[in-house]
């Protein structure tokens, strides 16, 4: 289990693996504020969301260069100006929209509509370049957690991790993380350097990591920061079958957001509702709380696009579910997860 400590009465902090990086169990996820694949963004609302999150005791912000093709990192920099010492900054490399090199070419658009091709690229020279660009956009001299966003099959993982280690030795990053790696890739990565954490998807619906990844990380003392604990808002109980997503919002075509699946989730949430009411919490807060108290989970990334959402997400730290309640919640979603292909 993650090491915890109390910080001025706010949320406990949890250690990322064997590193010295201490994160809040709820982390501000900055994908949506970049606008990319979320139908745009409002910069002032995004800045207010980050301020509210920090004020509520969330000390960690997770972004990536690819989120808005640099836009998310730039917004984060504006939001933490004068507050850098209060924040653990996590960002990612390995998804290039401005290079002809890399694998898995993916035609896409920038938030302002320009055509680009996104490629996975974890070559050492690309990692070094991306680190410099992220440092500039974030207006900082060190990145607390630098993560390789996706496996790049064209580059030996040892070479990528050695490049990350070099950055760590140079003092440009404090800890190394990887994202979306399987056990085979994790084994190679941890043999090549001091990897502190893994970032995989995980929620009441998406539980595949429970089979092998979570046990492996527990056994090897790796921090686990999970993304999409609310399944892009689906587990908040506010996405009804009639909801229509705006142009550019990826949820319109996501398999979890079919009408049948939305109804499955809403039905399961009715079983959870009495537990939420008992704790004076929302369904979203219960889903987040359940997630961050699963064995081996260090923290969960939760996105917010305005101050109200950010404060609400942080409220998931304000109560404790019993073991029995967590079991009831899991059981309610067992058939949903199976039907939606999440197990």
Active site residues: 67
Which of 243, 274, 267 has its CA nearest to residue 334? 267
Tokens of 200: 């995989």
Beta-carbon-side half-sphere exposure of residue 177 (alpha carbons within 13 Å): 31
* Nearest CA-CA partner of 209 in 222, 196, 194, 190: 222
Tokens matching residue 289: 């709380």
Neighbour-count burial of 297, counting CB atoms closer than 10 A to its CB (0-12 exposed, 13-18 middle, 19+ buried): buried
Spatial contact of 45 and 51, defined as CB atoms under 8 Å apart: no
Angle value at C-alpha 104, between 103 and 110, nearest 5 degrees: 105
- How far is 197 from 60, CA to CA, in rounded Å? 14
Rounded to whole angstroms, the Cα distance separating 282 from 213 reads 29
The C-alpha atoms of residue 151 and residue 167 are separated, in whole angstroms, by: 19
The bridge status of strand 4-5 relative to strand 13-15 is antiparallel
CB 167 within 8 A of CB 145: no
Contact yes or no for 88/99 (Cβ under 8 A): no
Handedness of CA 306, 311, 317, 322 (dihedral sign): negative
> In the sheet that 103-109 helps form, which strands lie side by side, from edge to edge?
95-96, 115-120, 103-109
Query: Which structure tokens are listed for 209?
Result: 């990591």
Residue 192 has which token pair? 């090549």
**Cβ(5)–Cβ(13) below 8 Å:** yes
The distance of Cα 303 from the centroid of its chain, to the nearest Å, equals 8
């Amino acid at each position: 289990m993650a090491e915890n400590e109390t910080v001025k009465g706010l949320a406990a902090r949890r250690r990322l693996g064997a590193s010295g990086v201490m994160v809040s169990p709820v982390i501000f996820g900055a994908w949506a504020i970049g606008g990319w694949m979320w139908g745009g963004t409002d910069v002032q609302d995004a800045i207010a969301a980050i301020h509210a999150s920090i004020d509520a005791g969330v000390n960690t912000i997770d972004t990536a260069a690819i989120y808005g093709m640099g836009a998310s990192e730039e917004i984060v920099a504006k939001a933490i100006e004068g507050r850098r010492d209060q924040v653990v900054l996590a960002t990612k490399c390995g998804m290039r929209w401005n290079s002809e090199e890399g694998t898995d070419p993916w035609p896409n658009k920038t938030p302002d509509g320009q055509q680009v091709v996104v490629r996975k690229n974890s070559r050492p020279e690309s990692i070094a370049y991306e680190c410099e660009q992220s440092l500039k956009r974030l207006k900082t001299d060190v990145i607390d957690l630098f993560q390789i966003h996706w496996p790049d099959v064209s580059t030996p993982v040892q070479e990528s991790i050695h490049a990350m280690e070099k950055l760590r030795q140079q003092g440009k990053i404090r800890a190394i993380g990887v994202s979306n790696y399987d056990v085979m890739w994790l084994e190679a990565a941890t043999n090549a350097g001091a990897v502190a954490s893994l970032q995989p998807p995980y929620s009441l619906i998406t539980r595949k990591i429970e089979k092998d990844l979570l046990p492996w990380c527990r056994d090897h003392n790796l921090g686990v920061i999970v993304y999409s604990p609310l399944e892009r808002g689906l587990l908040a109980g506010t996405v009804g079958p009639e909801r229509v997503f705006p142009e550019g919002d990826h949820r319109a075509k996501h398999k979890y957001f079919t009408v049948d699946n939305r109804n499955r989730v809403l039905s399961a949430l009715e079983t959870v509702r009495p537990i939420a009411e008992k704790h004076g919490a929302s369904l979203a807060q219960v889903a987040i709380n359940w997630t961050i108290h699963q064995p081996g989970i260090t923290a969960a990334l939760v996105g917010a696009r305005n101050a109200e959402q950010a404060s609400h997400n942080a409220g998931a730290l304000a109560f404790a579910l019993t073991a029995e309640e967590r079991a009831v919640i899991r059981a309610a979603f067992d058939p949903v997860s199976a039907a939606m292909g999440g197990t």
